[in-house]
Chain A
Amino acid sequence: MSGKDLSPKGREIPAIRRVVLNDVSQLPSDYSTTPGGTLFSTTPGGTRIVYDRTRLMQLRNSPLARSPPANMAQIPGITDFNTEAEATKKRSKRGIVKDENKDESKIGHDEHPQFEMDI
């Protein structure tokens, strides 16, 4: 085996296995178990992709979670592409986003150059 083969590689996402329940009695009796087990258990047939709130909030700060969505419908006042600016500000207040808005005062006058129109 060459050294190349030992370099870390991404792994495939484990296949999702569906567990069909025919009756409520087949549900596990405690909340820490899903039918067929959890993603982390070794129970045969068990793969449920579980995230708690904390984990989902952590993932919100990933660079992958910050690009504008590609295939989103535009609904005036609802899918508002300006809300991201606010969301970024809020997150930066909590100290997670570094300082994208720090120089706001300097760029004040040319903040929206792309949207100016002569009519």
Chain B
Amino acid sequence: MNNKFEALKAEDSGEEEEETFRPAPIPGEGEHPLQYNYALWFSRKSQTNKTVRYDQNLKFIASFASVEQFWNIYSYIVRPGDMSGHVDYHLFKEGIRPMWEDEANKHGGKWVIRLKKGLASRCWENLILAMLGEQFMVGEEICGAVISIRFQDDILSLWNRSNDPGIVSRIKDTLQRVLNLPPNTIMEYRAHTDSMKDNTSFRTTDHFKR
């Protein structure tokens, strides 16, 4: 009886505990530490209720501090290319929420890459491995990466802190190197302030394409 009650209590509070303190992960014994801790998030846009706010759809999956902890999590989640509907994975440095408004993001922007169907899983893996392994060489600039599964194309984004042209072009060079993209892949840089203005993530990319 007591046990059941405890279990129920835990379940109840779980619903509202979105914002509560989570202890930072630490590398286990013998594991390989990463330069930063990261957190993985998931979101799915409700098709029935479109008024739900973006951050209400955002679900924290797990955080990690080492290469091994990353693989543990990665092996137990569905690959982005195997998902359907309007869904996203967000992998961000711990402490940065995957939102334009976050202190770390608000002066920055993102590289947006449109992918033909079938490329999402591979490109996402290459992107996050490059990010975790500190391949971008732009100091503290990288904030996180997003893969967005959409009906027509899938969209890969890499967010950074500032929209300094030097940093932005440096990131582009590394993206091209690590992603091994097909020729003529469309890449566009978009400042979050522009996204905030028209409240859309990829609209100008659409225009660009047509």
Contacts and interface: CB of A to CB of B under 8 A. Distances in A.
A58 to B, nearest CB: 10
Contact of A79 (B76, B134, B140): B76
Interface string A91-109: 0000000000000000000
A50 B71 contact: no
B72 A68 contact: yes
B7 to A, nearest CB: 14
Contacts of A75: 42, 59, 61
A117 interface: no
Contacts of A77: 78, 83
A7 interface: no
Nearest to A49: B35
Size category, B interface:
35 or more
Contacts of A69: 62, 64, 69, 72-73, 76
A41 to B, nearest CB: 13
Which of A10, A57, A81, A83 gathers most chain B CB within 10 Å? Answer: A83
Contacts of A35: 139
Given A21-B139, A49-B33, A53-B129, A83 B78 contact: yes
Contacts of B99: none
Contact of B32 (A57, A59, A66): A59
B133 A84 contact: no
Interface of A: 10, 13, 16, 18-19, 21, 24, 27-28, 31, 33-35, 48-53, 55-57, 59-60, 62, 64-69, 71-73, 75, 77-81, 83-84, 87
17 contacts: A10-B30, A21-B139, A27-B138, A27-B170, A48-B134, A52-B133, A53-B178, A56-B132, A57-B129, A65-B71, A66-B71, A71-B62, A78-B77, A78-B78, A79-B76, A83-B75, A84-B75
Question: Can you list the 5 inter-chain pairs with the closest CB atoms, starting with the nearest?
Answer: A51-B133, A65-B71, A72-B62, A65-B68, A64-B68
Interface of B: 25, 27-28, 30-35, 42, 59-64, 67-69, 71-73, 75-79, 83, 126, 129-130, 132-135, 137-140, 164, 166-167, 170, 173-174, 178
